[in-house]
Structure formats: C-alpha cells, structure tokens
C-alpha cells in the first residue's frame, strides 16, 4: 500500500477521509452523499476488503458488473466511476490511469419532454401557493430544481429583473431571468419570509446554513435576513454540530410530487417533472427567435452542443421543418 493508503486501516476510515476531502474541495452535499454511497457499495461488492488492496482489477470488475449484471444507465455508471477515481487519486494516493477493460453501459440518445405553452398554463393552474410560484420560476427563469429551492433573499433583484444563481452545476454562478409577471408574487413571498424570520429570531432561532466557511468569517450572517431561503421549510431543526436551531429550504421531493400530481390533474399525457419546465423554457425561447448562445448562457450550459438538443423539439416538427404533406394540403 502507498503511504496515503496505510493511514486508513479500515474501510470506515477510508470513507471518513473521503468525506473530508470532498468537503475541502467544496463538493455539494448531494455529490458527497452519492460518492460515499458508491464507495460503500464497491466495498460491499468486493467482500468488504480494503479498497487499497483491490486496485484497477477490482474497480474494472465492479464497473463492468454494473453494466452487464445490473443494467444501470450510462450516467449511473459514470457517476460510480467518478466516485472511485476520486477515491483512488485523492484519498488513497493510487490514481487509476486507464480503464480499458470496462464494459461501458450504452448511453441512449433521448429527446427532452417539452410542454406546449398551453400545457404549461394548464399545469401551473393546478398548483397552489408556494408550489405554483416555484414551478413558475422553473419555467419562467429556466432554473434547475435545486437552483430554485436554494435561492436566498439576496439573490432576488426585482429592480433589474434578474436572479443570481449561486454555485450551480459545476460550481458556477450565473444570472437568470426574473419574469416581470412574477414580481408581485415574489415580493409577497419575500415579505412572508421576513415575517417568518422575525418570529424565528424572537424565539432564539433564525439560523440558516451558509456555504463554505462563511459562518466563521461572518459570525452574524446565519441570522441575517438576506441569507434566508426564499422558499423556507415549514419546520425547523437543530444542527447537531453547532446546536443552532435552523430552517432548511423547501424540500425537493415535495415540489417534485406536487408537479407530477398537477400534471395528472391537468390531464397531460406526457411524463411531467420539474425539469420538464426547464426544457420547455429553452424550447419556447428558441421558438420565439432568441439566439441559441443567449439561451446557453441563461441555462448555464458549458457547451452549446448541450443547448442544441432543443432545436430538435421545436413546434415546427423535428429540426424546425414543415412536412411536405402539409404544404401539399395547404397549397403552399
């Protein structure tokens, strides 16, 4: 074993070290949870052996098994690979240089599900209160689910009609649209947040989780209004580390369930989820003549080729062309 590997004599020590390294690199809580889950699964599948004794052969067998035996998707297999690459390079000090023996899961080419403007209207009409406002932002601003739920009061700029999306995918910040039609609803939501926060402060609570180590640099920030969530949870919790009474943001599963059930009530036959609204945002902007590079920036895509997929689902048919049969029947 390398010097790094011998520091962690048990699999549990490896997992603890990996969590610490991920936190040092400011990985998101979801990434940390997913990576640790894959390493635990790898260790169990390998007979609970120490990862340092398995190396390339063990990793290749595990990843190939995911594709051939468990039939996981390509994205799932890639996430497992990323977790194990991080483990061996950053924790054990034994980088895996090549993985030629892996049987890769096939990545299907799927088109996004897109709603028409009328279908979006029917969906939103079936939602109520906070869920309707959040879903409206997903569609009107093109936000990802967690980008919407983790908005803080300071991220809303009503005067400039923009939202500041912080630490989005790839740990990148960007500016998103704030629909003018949502201004009054958002202002009312911010007033509600201010009232709720005042009540929390009055009973000795009012804390919120801050990114990185900002609570050390700015000790009072966790109780400041500007750092509070725009869409707070209804309940508070006590953080076991700090013993602070905090309020989390609205939980993602609650909004996902609300949108899915609203789609059913609206009679939509397409599979509808929160990300469907983001797909619809991009497609409808393209249909209205917006430049694809502008849409790329609004969506936060690193590569314009990711944004190009929406050109295949325009309302004029695939690739935005009209069928020759329609021209024949209309005489055009």
The residues annotated with a catalytic role in the active site are 144, 169, 275, 278, 301, 310
- According to the 3-state scheme, what is the secondary structure of the chain? CCHHHHCCCCHHHHHHHHHHHHHHCCCCHHHHHHHHHHHHHHHHHCCCCCHHHCHHHHHHHHHHHHHHCCCCCHHHHHHHHHHHHHHHHHHCCCCCCCCCCCCCCCCCCCCCCCCCHHHHHHHHHCCCHHHHHHHHHHHHHCCCHHHHHCCEHHHEECCCCEEEECCCCCCCCEEEECCHHHHHHHHHHHHHHHHHHHHHHHCCCCECCCCCCHHHHCCCHHHCHHHCECCEEEEEEECCCCCCEEEEECCHHHHHHHHHHHHHHCCCCCCCCHHHHHHHHHHHHHHCCCCHHHHHHHHCCCCHHHHHHHHHHCCCCHHHCCCHHHHHHHCC
Whole-number Å distance between alpha carbons of 30 and 169: 11
For 159, the token pair is: 């005067």
For 103, the token pair is: 């049987």
Whole-number Å distance between alpha carbons of 223 and 227: 7
Task: Enumerate the β-bridge partners of residue 163.
Answer: 156, 176
């Amino acid at each position: 074993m390398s010097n790094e590997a011998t520091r962690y004599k048990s699999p549990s020590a490896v997992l603890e070290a990996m969590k610490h390294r991920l936190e040092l690199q400011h990985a998101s809580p979801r990434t940390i949870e997913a990576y640790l889950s894959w390493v635990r699964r790898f260790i169990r599948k390998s007979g609970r052996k120490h990862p340092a004794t398995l190396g390339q052969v063990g990793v290749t067998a595990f990843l190939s098994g995911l594709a051939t035996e468990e039939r996981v998707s390509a994205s799932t297999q890639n996430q497992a690979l990323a977790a194990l690459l991080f483990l061996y390079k950053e924790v054990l000090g034994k980088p895996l240089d090549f993985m030629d023996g892996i049987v890769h899961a096939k990545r299907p080419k799927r088109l996004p599900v897109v709603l028409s403007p009328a279908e979006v209207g029917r969906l939103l009409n079936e939602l109520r209160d906070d869920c309707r406002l959040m879903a409206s932002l997903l569609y009107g601003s093109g936000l990802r689910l967690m980008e919407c739920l983790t908005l803080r009061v300071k991220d809303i700029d009503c005067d400039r009609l923009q939202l500041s999306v912080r630490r989005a995918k790839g740990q990148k910040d960007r500016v998103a649209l704030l629909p003018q039609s949502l201004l009054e609803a958002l202002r009312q939501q911010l007033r509600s947040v201010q009232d709720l926060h005042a009540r929390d402060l009055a009973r000795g609570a009012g804390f919120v989780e801050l990114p990185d180590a900002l609570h050390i640099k700015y000790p009072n920030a966790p109780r400041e209004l500007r750092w509070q969530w725009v869409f707070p949870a209804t309940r508070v919790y006590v953080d076991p580390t700090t013993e602070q009474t905090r309020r989390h943001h609205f939980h993602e599963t609650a909004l996902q369930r609300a949108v899915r059930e609203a789609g059913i009530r609206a009679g939509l036959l397409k599979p509808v989820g929160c990300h469907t609204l983001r797909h619809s945002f991009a497609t409808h902007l393209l249909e209205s003549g917006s430049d694809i590079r502008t849409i790329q920036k609004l969506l936060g895509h690193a590569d314009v080729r990711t944004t190009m997929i929406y050109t295949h689902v325009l309302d004029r048919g695939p690739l935005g062309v009209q069928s020759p049969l329609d021209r024949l029947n209309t005489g055009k």
